Amino acid sequence: MKKILVAVALIMPLAACTQTEKGAAIGAGTGAVIGGVATGNVRGAAVGAAVGGVAGALIGNANEPGRCLYRDRYGRRYEAAC
């Protein structure tokens, strides 16, 4: 139960973010984990977070302004006005 509450507390602030901000946050988190695991030190985690954050922001900003990507109940992605 504690893990679920922590996960919700970490994910909820992303609800108000733009796609670029969400992409940067997810990329930085993922990059930090991968960099830390791959190198086994904090410097690797920091570099991974920086690279992942930039890559995530670029990916999050890839769609047209004013357009968002959504998924339907079957998992198919589509683009529509935000």
Domain ranges across the chain: 17-81
| pLDDT value at residue 7 | 65
User: What is the residue whose two structure tokens read 């679920």?
Assistant: 4
Residue type at 64 in one-letter notation: E
pLDDT tens digits for range 27-36: 888 888 888 8
Least confident residue range of 8-12, 19-23, 29-33, 66-70: 8-12
Token digits for 27? 């990329």
- Residue 18 CB contacts under 8 Å (≥ 6 apart), including other chains: 60
Instruction: Name 56's Cβ contacts closer than 8 Å, sequence gap at least 6.
Output: 23, 24, 25, 26, 27, 28, 30, 31
Indicate yes or no: pTM above 0.85. Answer: no
Position 1 pLDDT exceeds 70: no
